[in-house]
Structure 1
Amino acid sequence: MLFHVRMDVHLPPGLDPAVRDEIVAREKAYSQELQRAGKWPHIWRIVGEYSNFSIFDVESNDELHRLLSALPLFPYMDIRVTALARHPSKVD
Structure 2
Amino acid sequence: MLFHVRMNVSLPTAMPADQAAKLKADEKALAQQLQNEGKWRHLWRIAGQYANISIFDVASVDELHALLTALPLFPYMQIEVMPLCRHPSSVRDNDL
State the TM-score, normalized to the length of structure 1: 0.99
- Give the 3-state SS of the residue equivalent to 1:41 in structure 2: strand
Q: CA deviation at 1:67?
A: 0.2
Q: Is structure 2 residue 66 aligned with structure 1 residue 66? A: yes
* Structure 2 equivalent of residue 17 of structure 1: 17
Q: How well do the aligned residues superpose, as a CA RMSD in angstroms?
A: 0.4
Gaps of 5+ in 2: none
Gaps of 5+ in 1: none
Q: Count how many residue pairs are aligned between Structure 1 and Structure 2.
A: 92
The one-letter code of the counterpart of 1:34 is: L
Q: CA deviation at 1:17?
A: 0.4
Counting only pairs closer than 5 Å after superposition, residues 50-89 of structure 1 correspond to structure 2 as: 50-89=50-89
Deviations 1:30-84 (CA, angstroms, capped at 9, x unpaired): 0000000000010000000000000000000000000000000000000000000
Cα distance between partner residues in 2 of 1:43 and 1:17: 25
Q: Identity across aligned pairs (percent)?
A: 61
State the TM-score, normalized to the length of structure 2: 0.95
